[in-house]
Amino acid sequence: ALRDVAERIGELGINFASYIRPPGVDRATSPLPLLQSELLKNHVFSALHTLKLAIPFAHGRLEDVDIRVDAFEKCPLLRCVSLREETHRVEFVLPYQNLTTVHANGGRLDYIINKLENPRDVYLNFFPISLSREQPPPIPLHSTMTWQAAALRTLKRVRFRSFLFDIHAATGNNTFRSLHAHALRILELDAAPCLTLFTILTMIPDIALCGLHELIVGCVLESPADLDGPDVQSFMHLMARMPALRTLKISGRFGHYVLYALAETNGLVPELAVLTVNPELLQKDCAKVVCFARERRDSLMSVEVMVSTSYTYRGQEERFLTDISGPAAAMFWEELVALVPVNVL
């Protein structure tokens, strides 16, 4: 029985993707009888440190009804929370002041951000891959997302996945504008077009960017219609705001402009030790990578090529090495390997 083990549970995961709805229970609210049940409310999970909840859109269509779940409000040791709540209607009441690691795509993102007081690692997925075959609706933000002063003092790592996220809406973009996190060391932006990525970074205050040690940017494939946007000069100014950067991982059109900025401007990111690119970017701009490596041969520790996540090679290292050694790029590739250690991952 739950009552016999509740106080000893350290990690709890509830995934409604495999939930079998009881007879007579409305599909729209099927997860709620359990989450709001006395079964959970009447037990204090005093040892719980990690909580993972997943509610697919296909298993809980709450429409315009906002639901409050407080079954895990009194968990004194809770530090890590993962919320994949695709209905975007459930407000989870948790001891947010104690949480250090938060991975969330729903569960009222605005409510979560406004409550955090002691986070170290926050991953906000504004457009997640669905748990089910049905596409969940866009994430609605009911209030302006603002980081608390206490949270900004402890925040070390922030990750945003923001494809199709409306960065111009005040309720959402304040997430970036209010990120005055002087202790921030790792920033990851993923699954967005070049212009969106650039705009997000321009919104983030200098105090957060100037101490960054690692920047990871994943740029989506773009159509010709998406190619209007910032120029190399703008990227020079952007990269100049990150003087402490030691590790840089880039791809796509965003990476193309960053490489041009680094190759054409002496002194940008002087502490950079590791440059990571995807093979498509390296093949397109191998000359710029070589130019940068030549200038930084005394300080650049390695260039890494991420074949494992490539949409072209899908981990096929031998195929990549065959292509990069072809007539179009062989000369640059040979010089790059001679200049710095190159790791194909």
Which has the minimum average pLDDT: 66-75, 90-99, 296-305? Answer: 66-75
299, with CB counted inside 10 A (0-12, 13-18, 19+), is exposed
With respect to CATH, is domain 1-344 assigned 3.80.10?
A: yes
- The two tokens of residue 242 are 């990150």
- The two tokens of residue 209 are 């960017």
Instruction: Give residue 159's pLDDT.
Output: 97
| Residue 132: band (very low, low, confident or very high) from pLDDT cuts 50, 70, 90 | confident
Q: Which residues have a Cβ under 8 Å from the Cβ of 158 and sit 6 or more positions away?
A: 122, 123, 124, 179, 181, 184, 186, 187, 188
Mean pLDDT of 319-325: 93
Which amino acid, one-letter code, is at 250?
I
The percentage of the chain sitting over the pLDDT mark of 70, rounded to a whole number, equals 90
Q: Which residues have a Cβ under 8 Å from the Cβ of 326 and sit 6 or more positions away?
A: none
| Pairing state between β 302-305 and 342-344 | parallel
Q: What is the mean pLDDT of the chain?
A: 89
Instruction: Give residue 61's pLDDT.
Output: 61
The percentage of the chain sitting over the pLDDT mark of 90, rounded to a whole number, equals 61
CB burial readout 194-220, b (16+ within 10 A) else e = bbbbbbbbeebbeebbebbbbbbbbbb
Higher pLDDT among residues 19 and 45, named by residue: 45
Q: Is the pLDDT of residue 133 over 90?
A: no
Round to whole Å and give the CA distance between 182 and 296. Answer: 28
**Cβ atoms < 10 Å from Cβ of 24:** 5
Positive or negative CA dihedral for 226, 228, 233, 234? negative
Give 277-310 pLDDT, tens digit per residue: 999 999 999 999 999 999 999 999 999 999 999 9
- The two tokens of residue 93 are 């009441």
- The two tokens of residue 150 are 């206490």
Query: Is the CB of residue 252 less than 8 Å from the CB of residue 219?
Result: yes
Which has the minimum average pLDDT: 16-20, 82-86, 119-123? Answer: 16-20
Mean pLDDT of 187-204: 94
Q: Which residue has the tokens 């990269």?
A: 239
Positive or negative CA dihedral for 68, 71, 75, 80? negative
Domain limits, the chain: 1-344
Instruction: Give residue 29's pLDDT.
Output: 61
**Cβ atoms < 10 Å from Cβ of 111:** 18
